[in-house]
């Protein structure tokens, strides 16, 4: 039986199942070995029973060998009959073994809790030599590291195939994990490229003249630029761009006024439409009353007597000015009934940041001077062709 016969993957738009047979030719050797082992013990105990007057110690002494025989026989039966099933059901990743229960038991993890999947190599050195096993593990956003698949007959190639297909189905961006098998080695240069070189994305470029309204000028600004807000000049100390998987990109600006007061301005994109919010980060001491859970987010939240309804959940990458690499994040946007207030929650590896925002009229903004480069000319919308200068 080759690896393709042992591993079967069924994938549909709304369903995913992997079936992995445990069978290995070594099962026949173990069957013979366990038969001899257990047969010897059966004969030994038969002799003790027939001899009469045998002390209790003689029955207890071989119990370790009895336990070993039972364990080998149990594992041999699993090799012949067992299958492992990996399913994505009801927003959970589930792993179970049938028909014979396995000592590691079954696994069920909410998909929203999974940060990364990876294959780990374990090298065991003992008196009888060195053995190598491989397991599929899940790195969770709460910091835990969970074992998913750890069966001796599963090869590293099978586990890497399962990892890749699962990540593609779940929309998990494949990034290196410390201790991951294969990353940095020469075993598969294409996988190393996919893991290391091909997974450092750049900020999404935005086309000038694409957006409706006057918020485009501030939306396309960057650190060091100056803007006017409420007829007062502000310098952009830092800018953060959130590139979401749905194609939208939100921007967060940290502004500094002449009186040294700082202000956060968040601009949300919905295709060609932009909306601005003045934001404040909510202290952790005040967010516990929300009862928000990323694994099972509520459809509505109440804060300071205002009811907020979940409007959108996004996944993507966060680009912060001054940092060389992006950060994978999720965002939950809760909006008040009148649409004037927004509760925004950003999650990264189990860490949550909460922002409370209030809508700002776009007429309150006016582009100021770029303190370092001067004004950028706004290029008129052209439908025939686009050049690099039309993007920022």
- What was the pLDDT predicted at 129? 67
Percent residues over pLDDT 90 in the chain:
22
What is the rounded distance in angstroms from the CA atom of residue 33 to the CA atom of residue 14? 45
Domain that includes residue 231, residue range: 216-390
Contact 255, 264 (CB under 8 A): yes
Domain count, the chain: 2
As a whole number of angstroms, the distance between CA 240 and CA 271 comes to 18
pLDDT in tens, 113-148: 888 899 988 887 766 667 788 888 998 888 888 888
What's the whole-model pTM score? 0.48
Q: Are residues 369 and 268 in the same domain?
A: yes
Q: What is the pLDDT of residues 37-68, one digit of tens each?
A: 888 888 888 877 777 666 777 777 778 888 88
* Residues 329-332: contacts with CB under 8 Å, at least 24 apart: 329/242, 330/112, 330/294, 331/242, 331/244, 331/250, 332/292, 332/294, 332/297
Question: Is the residue at 164 inside a domain?
Answer: yes
| Residue at 211 is within a domain | no
Residues 305 and 362 in one domain: yes
Say whether both 165 and 132 belong to one domain: yes
In this structure, the chain runs to a length of: 392
Does the structure show a pLDDT above 50 at 216? Answer: yes
Q: Do residues 179 and 55 both lie within one domain?
A: yes
């Amino acid at each position: 039986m080759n690896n393709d016969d042992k591993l079967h993957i069924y994938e549909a738009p709304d369903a995913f199942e992997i079936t992995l047979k445990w069978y290995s030719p070594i099962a026949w050797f173990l069957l013979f070995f366990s038969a001899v082992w257990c047969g010897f013990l059966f004969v030994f105990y038969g002799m003790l029973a027939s001899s009469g007057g045998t002390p209790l110690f003689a029955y207890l002494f071989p119990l370790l060998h009895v336990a070993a025989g039972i364990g080998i026989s149990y594992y041999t039966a699993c090799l012949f009959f067992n299958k492992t099933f990996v399913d994505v059901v009801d927003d959970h990743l589930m792993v179970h073994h049938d028909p014979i229960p396995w000592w590691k038991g079954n696994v069920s993890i909410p998909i929203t809790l999974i940060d990364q999947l990876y294959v780990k190599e374990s090298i065991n050195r003992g008196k009888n030599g060195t053995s190598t096993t491989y397991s599929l593990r899940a790195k969770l956003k709460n910091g835990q590291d969970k074992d998913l698949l750890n069966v001796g007959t599963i090869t590293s190639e099978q586990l890497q195939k399962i990892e890749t297909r699962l990540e593609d189905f779940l929309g998990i961006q494949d990034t290196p994990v410390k201790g991951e098998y294969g990353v940095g080695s020469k075993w598969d240069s294409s996988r190393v490229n996919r893991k290391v070189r091909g997974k450092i994305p750049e900020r999404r470029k935005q086309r000038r003249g694409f957006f409706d309204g006057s918020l485009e000028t501030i939306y396309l600004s960057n650190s060091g630029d100056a803007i006017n807000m409420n007829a007062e000049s502000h310098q952009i100390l830092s800018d953060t761009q959130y590139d979401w998987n749905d194609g939208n990109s939100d921007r967060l600006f940290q502004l500094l006024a002449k009186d040294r007061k700082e202000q956060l301005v968040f601009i949300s994109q919905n295709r060609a439409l932009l909306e601005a919010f003045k934001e404040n980060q909510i202290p952790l001491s005040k967010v516990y009353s929300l009862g928000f859970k990323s694994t099972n987010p509520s459809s509505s939240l109440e804060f300071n007597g205002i009811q907020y309804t979940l409007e959108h959940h996004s996944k993507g990458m966060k680009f912060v000015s001054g940092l060389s690499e992006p950060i994978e994040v999720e965002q939950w946007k809760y909006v008040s009934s009148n649409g004037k207030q927004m509760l925004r929650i950003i999650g990264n590896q189990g860490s949550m940041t909460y922002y409370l925002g209030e809508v700002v009229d776009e007429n309150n903004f006016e582009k100021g001077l770029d303190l370092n480069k001067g004004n950028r000319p706004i290029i008129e919308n052209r439908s025939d062709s686009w050049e690099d200068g039309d993007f920022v």
